[in-house]
């Protein structure tokens, strides 16, 4: 063994031979001590590589649970929702038939559904840009500051880790028209605050404020990771080239270098905004007067409260199509960026 | 001149960050403050944060008596733990097979995973609900956990992580005569702790907070998760007793916030930690 120990690789091979009698490589046990190091190494390679067929079989076995569950809980239900969208299936009724595009035709004329698409779009258009700009600003301020980084990061990230349903309840109190701190505070300056969540004109803004508060921390963490990845030399180089103000440095270095991060953050933010549900269900139930009716809430109402599964499935297909288009757009933009770079 | 300008910029920076931090913390501050106020004081709508009369005990006992908080928190822990463990057990072997074994179906699997990443529970909820209704498994832990047993995000995450692992490590383990399952359990998992920790945080935060799915499959209070339980509590209180409501909110928010404050360091470590040592 002392001789083999001089060659590290052979030592590994020999150790393998000694401790594992089941390994196919070392059936000729008698030889192993006397074998030259080179011979041992070829045995080692044989043992390290599995025969292809056996390897493929093992791979299938390892992946099988995942594949089965993927079919059972993702692919099959997705296919089913598309099929159900063409039926008039209702839970509790045994009779159902294919109705072609009838559900989709009904959707076109459904004022609640159109309202909910519009509200979801408005909510997304408010929450996404504001939460991105705020998150980027906070990330840059934290990055530039040496003191209290961990503290600020924790504080801004806290809402992400907090139970949204619970914090929505707190926001409802903050937004309360008469006893809420926000309107009490506004009253100090003689401003009569609105009935935030109770009036159809302001309810979407109220929900948007909660949405922004909740998502800034998540975006900030992604931006912080992106900022750390920017090489310091680039700022020095920009300074040599005459970029004196912080805005020049931002315009010439930070913003272009953060491009991929920003695109990623934007896509996630948009998708999360389109999926707004918790706050609406907890605080407004789509009201007042359908002013906060959003896509997932409408699907929930139709499918799981009124049990019109077929009709709700058609809505779900529209929802899924929106997600697919958003992802497709992200790939397109990403593709273009790569080509121009 | 220069140092002066820098310190002014710094003061401005700290001022902005602190003001923002205060605004972001405001809901928590008012939650803690209001949970200790009596009903009459809340309705006097003063901005004072310190309760005149400390009513914490009264409000907390009200919160604890209306809805069984221990059941809610227990259900939350059980559901999140089951989901996380199953996701890991299912995803890690699959990701290992795709990353490190010669596997014809790996490419097809990759396409399926990317497709799966697109489809949220909201899209598959209707057929799964109908199926669960037919199988009479609504109102059970099975109904709460089963749809999340597969996480394509986990497969995706671990796949990236495993690809970066050196093949030598696996070859050495094979030389030691380990079976492939043994390699996954004794070589891959111990070296994947950073990825597992990062995924654990992601998974637990997502499912602890989820309202959509529990709302659909659970109508029995015995199986309610924390978000759903709070919804019941709000309904029972008619949303007017803000003192008790804030006390309930505090109880329900505290576990995850505490966990986050403790695990945050690990989360950052998990991302920055690279290499073999784990």
Q: Of B12, B38, B62, which residue is a domain's last? A: B62
Are B234 and B143 in a shared domain?
A: yes
Q: Please, what is the average pLDDT of chain A?
A: 81
Q: Of B40, B62, B84, which residue is a domain's last? A: B62
* B177 occurs within a structural domain: yes
Are B216 and B266 in a shared domain?
A: yes
* B173 occurs within a structural domain: yes
* B277 occurs within a structural domain: no
The domain of B79 spans: 68-239+251-272
From the list B191, B188, B169, B186, the residue with the least C-alpha distance to B270 is B191
pLDDT tens digits for A254-282? 888 888 888 888 888 898 999 999 999 98
Q: At what angle are helices B56-66 and B242-272 packed, to 10 degrees?
A: 80
Region A39-54: mean pLDDT is 60
Backbone φ and ψ of B243, nearest 5°: -60, -50
Q: Please tell me the total count of domains within chain B.
A: 2
A285 reaches B (C-beta below 8 A):
no
Select from B27, B109, B126 the Cβ nearest to the Cβ of A81.
B126
Are B257 and B129 in a shared domain?
A: yes
* B246 occurs within a structural domain: no
Distances in whole angstroms, Cα of residue A70 to Cα of each of B15, B109, B149: 50, 10, 9
How far apart, in whole angstroms, are the C-alpha atoms of residue B100 and residue B88? 17
Rg (Cα) of chain B, in Å, rounded? 24
pLDDT tens digits for A122-134? 999 999 999 999 9
From the list A149, A148, A141, A140, the residue with the least C-alpha distance to A261 is A140
Residue A242 tokens read as 């005459």
Residues of A in contact with B13 (CB under 8 A): 141, 144-145
From the list A177, A196, A121, A166, the residue with the least C-alpha distance to A278 is A166
Select from A75, A170, A319 the Cβ nearest to the Cβ of B27.
A170
Q: Residue B93: closest CA among chain A residues belongs to which residue? A: A62
Determine whether the interchain pair B46/A81 forms a contact, defined as Cβ–Cβ distance below 8 Å: no
**Which A positions 227-246 lie with beta carbon below 8 A of chain B?**
none
Are B128 and B264 in a shared domain?
A: yes
Question: Is residue A210's pLDDT more than 90?
Answer: yes
* B278 occurs within a structural domain: no
pLDDT for position A36: 47
> Locate tokens 């590290």: which residue?
A8
Residues of A in contact with B93 (CB under 8 A): 62-63, 65-66
> Locate tokens 């999926």: which residue?
A275
Distances in whole angstroms, Cα of residue A135 to Cα of each of A250, A266, B17, B59, B193: 15, 11, 12, 36, 29
Are B42 and B160 in a shared domain?
A: no
Are B122 and B23 in a shared domain?
A: no
What pTM was computed for the model?
0.83
Are B168 and B72 in a shared domain?
A: yes
Interface A:B, Cβ pairs < 8 A: 284
CATH of the domain at B107: 1.10.3720.10
Region B7-34: mean pLDDT is 89
Determine whether the interchain pair A163/B208 forms a contact, defined as Cβ–Cβ distance below 8 Å: yes
Are B264 and B219 in a shared domain?
A: yes
How far apart, in whole angstroms, are the C-alpha atoms of residue B77 and residue B83? 10
Residue B48 tokens read as 């004072």
pLDDT for position A69: 94
Region A295-306: mean pLDDT is 93
Are B151 and B231 in a shared domain?
A: yes
Determine whether the interchain pair A316/B123 forms a contact, defined as Cβ–Cβ distance below 8 Å: yes
pLDDT for position A47: 55
pLDDT for position A13: 36
Residue A256, min C-alpha distance to chain B (Å) = 23
* B245 occurs within a structural domain: no
Are B27 and B84 in a shared domain?
A: no
Are B58 and B79 in a shared domain?
A: no
Residue B201 tokens read as 């945080």
Q: Of B45, B62, B79, which residue is a domain's last? A: B62
> Locate tokens 């990236």: which residue?
B160
Paired with A98 in beta bridges are: A87
Are B50 and B178 in a shared domain?
A: no
* B200 occurs within a structural domain: yes
* B24 occurs within a structural domain: yes
């Amino acid at each position: 063994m002392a001789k083999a120990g001089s060659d590290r690789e052979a030592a590994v091979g020999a150790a393998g031979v000694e401790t594992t009698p089941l390994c196919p490589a070392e059936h000729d046990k008698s030889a192993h001590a006397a074998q030259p190091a080179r011979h041992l190494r070829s045995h080692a390679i044989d043992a390290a590589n599995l025969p292809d067929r056996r390897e493929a079989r093992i791979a299938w076995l390892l992946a099988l649970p995942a594949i089965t569950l993927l079919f059972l809980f993702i692919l099959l239900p997705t296919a089913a929702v598309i099929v159900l969208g063409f039926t008039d299936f209702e839970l509790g009724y045994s009779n159902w038939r294919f109705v072609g595009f009838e559900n989709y035709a009904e959707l076109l004329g459904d004022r609640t559904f159109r309202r909910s698409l519009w509200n979801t779009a408005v909510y997304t258009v408010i929450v996404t840009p504001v939460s991105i700009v705020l998150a980027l600003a906070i990330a840059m301020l934290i990055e530039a500051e040496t003191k209290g980084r961990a503290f600020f990061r924790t504080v801004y990230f806290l809402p992400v880790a907090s139970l949204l349903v619970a914090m929505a309840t707190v926001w409802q109190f903050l937004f309360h028209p008469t006893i809420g701190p926000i309107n009490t505070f506004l009253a100090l300056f003689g401003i009569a605050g609105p009935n935030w969540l109770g009036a159809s004109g302001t309810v979407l803004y109220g929900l948007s404020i909660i949405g922004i508060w909740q998502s800034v921390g998540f975006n900030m963490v992604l931006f912080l990771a992106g900022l750390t990845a920017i090489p310091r030399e680039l700022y020095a180089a920009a300074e040599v080239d005459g970029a004196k103000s912080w805005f020049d440095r931002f315009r010439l270095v930070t913003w272009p270098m953060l491009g991929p991060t920003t695109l990623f953050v934007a896509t996630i933010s948009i998708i999360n905004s389109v999926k707004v549900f918790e706050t609406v269900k907890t605080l407004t139930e789509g009201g007042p007067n359908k002013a906060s009716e959003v896509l997932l809430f409408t699907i929930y109402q139709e499918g799981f409260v009124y049990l019109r599964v077929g009709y709700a499935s058609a809505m779900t297909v529209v929802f899924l199509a929106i997600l697919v288009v958003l992802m497709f757009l992200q790939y397109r933009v990403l593709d273009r960026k790569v080509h121009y770079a | 001149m220069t140092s002066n300008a820098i310190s002014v910029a710094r003061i401005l920076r700290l001022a902005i960050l602190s003001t923002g931090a205060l605004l972001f913390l405001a809901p928590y501050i008012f939650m803690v403050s209001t949970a200790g106020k009596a009903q009459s004081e809340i309705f006097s709508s003063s901005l004072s944060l310190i309760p005149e009369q400390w009513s914490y005990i009264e409000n907390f006992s009200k919160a604890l008596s209306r809805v069984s908080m221990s059941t809610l928190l227990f259900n939350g822990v059980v559901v999140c733990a089951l989901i996380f463990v199953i996701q890991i057990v299912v995803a890690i072997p699959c990701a290992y097979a795709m990353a490190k074994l010669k596997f014809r179906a790996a490419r097809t699997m990759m396409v399926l995973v990317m497709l799966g990443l697109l489809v949220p529970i909201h899209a598959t909820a209707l057929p799964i609900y109908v199926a669960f209704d037919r199988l009479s498994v609504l109102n059970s832990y099975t109904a709460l956990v089963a749809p999340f047993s597969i996480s394509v995000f986990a497969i995706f995450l671990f796949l990236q992580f495993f690809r970066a692992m050196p093949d030598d490590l696996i070859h050495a383990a094979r030389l030691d005569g380990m079976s492939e399952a043994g390699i996954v359990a004794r070589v891959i998992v111990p070296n994947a702790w950073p990825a597992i920790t990062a995924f654990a945080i992601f998974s637990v935060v997502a499912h602890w907070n989820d309202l959509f799915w529990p709302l659909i499959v659970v109508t029995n209070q015995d199986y309610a998760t924390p978000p759903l339980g709070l919804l019941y509590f709000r309904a029972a209180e008619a949303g007017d007793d803000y003192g008790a409501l804030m006390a309930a909110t505090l109880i329900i928010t505290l576990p995850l916030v505490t966990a986050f404050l403790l695990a945050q360091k690990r989360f950052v470590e998990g991302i920055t930690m690279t290499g073999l040592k784990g």
